[in-house]
A = this chain, B = another copy of it.
Amino acid sequence: MVNFSYTIVGTGAIGGFYGSRLQQAGSKVNFLLNSDYQHVSHNGLLVESPEGNFTLPQVNAYRDVSEIPPSDVVVVALKTTNNHLLSKLLPPLIKDTTIVLVLQNGLGIEEEVAKIVGTQRVIGGMCFICSNKIGPGHIRHLDYGTVTIAEYLPNYQPVGITQKMRQLAADFESAGIEVLLSEDLLLSRWQKLVWNIPYNGLSVVLDATTEQLMADGEMRSLIEQIMQEVVLGAKTCNRLIPESFIEKMLVYTTKMKPYRTSMKIDYDLVRPLEIEAIFSNPLKIVAQAGVDLPRIRMLDQQLKFLKTNNRSNNSLGKGTNC
C-alpha cells in the first residue's frame, strides 16, 4: 500500500530511476521532462538494473508544469546547475499539503527551495547511488541506491524523525529502496560532502577514477586532509562528524568498483559542473564563521578555472554516475 502521489522534476539518472521504481511499486507518478519529452510520452521509460531490468511502457509525461495536477510529493531531481528554474517550476506543482523532496548534492539548497515553496514542506534527500541516463528515457542503474532523508527547518535546526519522513520512507521501501532516516539534515549534508568534495573535485582536476586516486599514496593523504577540512567545516556549523567516519569513507571507496564521479562525467561531457552547491556554498557558510578551508578553496578555484577551460574533447562517451 502506498501513501503518496509523486511529481518528478528532472527525469534523469536520479529522478528517472526513483520515479520509475515508485510507479512500478504502485504509486501514481508524474514525470516532468524536457528534451526527452517526445520519446518518453511515446515509449515510456526503460530501467536497466542489477536488481532487475524493467520497462514502464506508459508514464504520465509532461513538459509544462501548468498541466501537471498537484501531487503529494514533488521530487526535485534536477542538477543543481538548473536550480535557477525552480522559482518557475515549483509553485504550480504545490498544493497545501505537498512535500518537496530535494534529491540533490551540496549545501544550502533546501534553504533556497524553502524560499520558493515555504519552509514546512521541505525534506532533503541524499542519494548514494551509481546510475546514469544513457539515452532518452533510458536509465542504467549500476549500484547502490540508498536514500538518506531529513526534514528541513529554518537555519537547519534538527527536527528529529517526523511522520512525513516515515510515510515517504514507506513508499520508497515498498519500491525496494532502502531509506535511512536522519534527525539532522545539516549533519547528513556535511557527511555526504566528506565523500563528494574530495572525490568529485580531484577526479575532475586530475582526470582520474576513484580507483586511481585511492591507489596513490600521495592522493590518499590529500583526500584524508580534504576530508578533515570538511569535518572542520561541519564543526563550524556545530555538527560533529567523528574521526571514524573518514576512515569508513576511505575503506568504502577502496572497495567500490572504479567509478567516474558524477562531476567527472559532467566534465567529460562538457556539461555544467555542480561547483556552487558542492564547493562554493560550504566555503561561503564556513567563511561567515571566519574559518578557512584552504584545500577545498583551492579545489573550488581549480574547478572554476577548468569549467571555463574544459580540456575534454567531448568524446569520452557514457559513464557511471556516482
Instruction: Give the B-binding residues of A (Cβ under 8 A).
Output: 202, 205-208, 212-213, 216, 218-219, 221-222, 225, 294-295, 298, 300-302, 304-306, 308-309, 311
Contacts and interface: CB of A to CB of B under 8 A. Distances in A.
16 contacts: A205-B205, A205-B302, A206-B302, A206-B309, A207-B309, A207-B311, A208-B305, A208-B309, A216-B304, A216-B309, A218-B300, A218-B301, A219-B305, A221-B301, A222-B302, A294-B298
A115 to B, nearest CB: 27
A276 to B, nearest CB: 13
Identify the interface centre among A202, A205, A218: most chain B CB within 10 Å of its CB.
A218
Given A216-B309, A309-B216, A301 B208 contact: no
Contacts of A311: 207
Contacts of A218: 300-301, 304-305
Given A206-B306, A222-B301, 11 more contacts: A202-B302, A205-B205, A207-B309, A216-B305, A216-B308, A216-B309, A218-B305, A294-B295, A294-B298, A295-B295, A295-B298
Contacts of A300: 218
Contacts of A208: 305, 309
A205 to B, nearest CB: 6
Nearest to A302: B206
Contacts of A207: 309, 311
Contacts of A294: 225, 294-295, 298
A206 B205 contact: yes
A298 B309 CA distance: 21
A294 B302 CA distance: 15
A312 to B, nearest CB: 11
Contacts of A225: 294, 298
A246 B199 CA distance: 32
Nearest to A217: B304
Contacts of A309: 206-208, 212, 216
Contacts of A306: 206
A118 to B, nearest CB: 35
Nearest to A216: B305
A219 B301 contact: yes
Contacts of A302: 202, 205-206, 222
A17 to B, nearest CB: 32
Nearest to A292: B294
A311 B225 CA distance: 24
A273 to B, nearest CB: 13
